[in-house]
Structure 1
């Protein structure tokens, strides 16, 4: 595998500093997928104290926030570098934080990772260590858990959400057992902090295949546990001559037609959240949704703090939901175009 020039230069520097080490995880995945990696992650057999010492002796400032988990960070030429000691993880089921045991085996380290496409390591000469078939899954555009998906989700329930996020970003599909296990264990997402939810949902909504990711959230019941006000939309017949799609499919289409700016994507996702709560019938027997924008904006004001958004962000998205029917609003055109399949 050939690295971009800047990444190859950094790999050489890190290797000279630490000795035998491997490039690992998302950066290997990105290079294999034809993308330029932003940050570089390495793993090696040195203990964290020794890594920190060598980094400092080489003239770099070491970041030690993750030291107890074996991770030391520093910057080279503006690029964030993280080096983690080979490790295995043992979970007691009471916390998402593992008991870490340092090992001298790269394969054992790769076995603790979430998905096969993230469990590939690269040597300095460009050769790969791929014990779980990540290259095949990458070529097949599949998100597949390493080993038993239920075990991976039990270890860190956020991985269920990460599966949807990676599928959205990369345009991949989720392998059937990995998908089904997320449905089985969806309630475990409640053990994860809302800040971590928000970061993954942000990335999912901005993905090129956000439609797949949003359907995954609904079909696995993750949506019901995270934003139950939105789960009501799934399969919801709008009973209107102005809409062909059910409410959730209309929402998904609106998201995909909206500009790829984060607050706009969130406003598109939440724009009709008030509809199920204001439904009434008109003289012709069809459903009306008077004031759904007003009710929706108020719901966003509650959801924002729940998802740990800033006050400013909550206000901006709430205002866009309130005004989404007005001509010239950021999502009015997408909403109108999404009314018919």
Structure 2
């Protein structure tokens, strides 16, 4: 798996610079950038401002707010000079992404108050691609970035958006209110979506993006450093469910899959998550597994307690379910320690008859 990183930032910036240099000398100040209220000149300066801001967040390890600084372009700077500033700030963000450890997160408000290096890289690339499009539209120029670059942005920070087959650029434009797609209503409001991370004493539960899920399902690492023997088969199967949900446009990141990463060494020890968003009655199902070498240390219990508390604190969740094989005594002990109790035999029978639940499984529940 190739993470969204410095190479992608440089690729996006190079494409932006090539287009803007070809348009140097045109009326950047007097022309609006596409659907924006800004001029093309102001939009170009904004690209540089975003890139340096993201670099500052990562380099400064900002934890609770934006680092309070901005960038200005010297008075009298020509169009070519603005392009130079974009190139320089892009190089700084690429360097910050490359030198930031994977586990580091820095403040960004949407939607879970933080992002890792891959998230900042994807946001930086998105800013470059989209605002280059805005400028090109204002100046009447043709612009279409590489499809793979657009697809990586979508799978990293737009996991809630159903991809359009063979049209990632059109999908990205639609997802940001800049274009139309057949059969979809235009968007007037949008946000990208960095992955959710839940902290426990010894672990971080890190939300898995569709890009990481696809790699895990295909036999890769998903960008994680796994303990020997990991990931277990159930984690790869669950990753496949995430990919399927993403392709159907029904994936909701906070109801997806999390990889359990040890704080002490940054190694991934297992997977945990939901089988989908809660139903109309506020019910959601959880599942989990650990690499064999990580079992017997309480990791699953610790993670399940944190994940359950996170879910049950929401108004739209009333009960969590788990289906455990009758012969899997260790997993039954985990689910019990995490506050789940076995449902009555009558309810279990209804689940078997009406919902097709495998009769070899025992059902456990935890209510809000």
TM interval, short-chain normalised: 0.3 to 0.5
| Structure with greater contact order relative to length (CA < 8 Å, sep ≥ 6) | 2
TM-score, structure 1 normalization? 0.35
Q: Name the structure where helix makes up a greater proportion of residues.
A: 1
TM-score, structure 2 normalization? 0.33
